[in-house]
Amino acid sequence: MKKHGTLFLNAYTNSPICCPSRAAMWSGLFTHLTESWNNFKGLESNYTTWMDLMQKHGYHTQKYGKVDYISGHHSLSNRVEAWTRDVDFLLQQEGRPMVNLTGNKMYVRVMEEDWQNTDKAVYWIRKEATNFTRPFVLYLGLNLPHPYPSPSAGENFGSSTFKTSPYWLEKVMYEAIKIPKWIPLSDMHPIDYYSSYTKNCTGHFTKKEIRDIRAFYYAMCAETDAMLDHGELAMEHQQFYKMSMYEGSSHVPLLVMGPNIKAQHRVSNVVSLVDIYPTMLDIAGIPLPHNLSGYSLMPLLSEKADETLSRSPHPTWVLSEFHGCNVNSSTYMLRTDKWKYIAYSNDHSIPPQLFDLFADPDELTNVATTYREVAHSLEKKLRSIIDYPKVSASVHEYNKKQFINWKQSVGQNYSNIIANLRWHQDWLKDPKKYERAIDKWLK
């Protein structure tokens, strides 16, 4: 596929979790502008997306699979964990990462739901779209390579099982798998430690366990590639899943193919998912709204760049932010040429991180105190883009208000319900202690 289109080498999500990430893509706006704070809080159902505008301008439109940008979805555990991230307690929210080999060498369709949605999309193109007299746009969303649910973790389990079949696992060069370097837990950045602990990754893992998890993740990616592509952490930085600004979580694949698109072309410019909105409208020849956070990518990939509707060149930075679960602070990432700057904002003083991605692609060495001028310059730039202390304060108040409303809605069942969410194994060791911590936070 890379031979036939333009590959963006430095594309990023604007929020490394399901709903907020998609909200940015569908709206063309940064996360703080749509207030898509977590997996429960995304766009309203009547929000005008780029696909809505294309339909308005005569396009046939269709969606299949995981869309997930509208408010009101995901589990109760996921919501409460995000709302209570400022509470002074530390609880495991996921089952320990594990692998599950299923089926035999003939078992291809492991994630059957994704395959069925892919089949629907292919059928729609071949049987319906080919008969259209007007242009069409099709969206297909997949779950893979998202880990599978782990029922062994209890009633309200998370998703920490890496599952595949021998068919896909045989496509992975097991011995070539790199074991990521881990720094000692005592040396971890405090936000990273919170993430690793809540994801149940601070225990001892043998090299075989780590290599198996990564092998199964790559096998799940192979199955995804047979349909599309995706990306998540696979035990780098002692984490799996998303919710992090490290490359395995925030860096996403982006490949564009089609008429008048440069072939065998690689773009090193930093871009992000908010750029999808103006790019789709640019492709369709639809005037671009003036309030978008994103920029059309057509000048970077079109053979006829002078014919695009792009209003100005793409900036030399991208912004990503995170306000959800598994991280006990709002997180803001600014990526420029070789630098990645990560700032945190909550009720405590948390030091920023600065990584030189050219010299340290594994992001193991925080050089914020070594390159103080660079860190200061990027902090200044970040604040010119977003007033992140103010945004963090808004998220803090939102979380507290949502939790109070939920607590009142469940009434006398509160203690029983909150004790049996995904964190139940830790919570039930001392339920009164954790209820007191929440009461203190609310006051």
Q: How far apart are CA 169 and CA 242, in angstroms?
A: 22
| Tokens, residue 366 | 């925080």
Q: Are 288 and 296 in contact (CB under 8 A)?
A: yes
- DSSP result, 296-354: -SHHHHBTTGGGS---SPPPS-EEEEE-STT-SSEEEEEE-SSEEEEEEESSS----EE
**DSSP percent split of the chain into helix, strand, coil, nearest 5:** 40, 20, 40
Q: How far apart are CA 157 and CA 404, in angstroms?
A: 24
CA distances from 217 to 99, 202, 214, 248, 391 (A): 9, 19, 5, 12, 34
User: Which of 412, 435, 250 lies closest to 332 in space, CA to CA?
Assistant: 250
Which candidate in 18, 19, 221, 325 is catalytic? 18
- DSSP result, 111-166: SHHHHHHHHHHHHIIIIIGGG-SS-EEEEEE--TTSPEE-GGG-TT--EEEEEE-H
Compute the CA torsion angle 403, 405, 410, 415 (nearest 10 deg).
30
Which phi and psi angles does 173 have, rounded to 5°? -85, 90
Q: How far apart are CA 210 and CA 217, in angstroms?
A: 11
Q: What is the number of alpha carbons within 13 Å of residue 8 lying toward its C-beta?
A: 25
Tokens 């049987």 belong to residue: 127
The residue type of 15 is S
Q: How far apart are CA 235 and CA 177, in angstroms?
A: 12
Q: How far apart are CA 73 and CA 342, in angstroms?
A: 28
18 a catalytic residue? yes
Helix or strand (DSSP H, E) at 36: none
CA distances from 199 to 81, 92, 103, 261 (A): 12, 6, 27, 41
Q: Tell me the catalytic residues.
A: 18
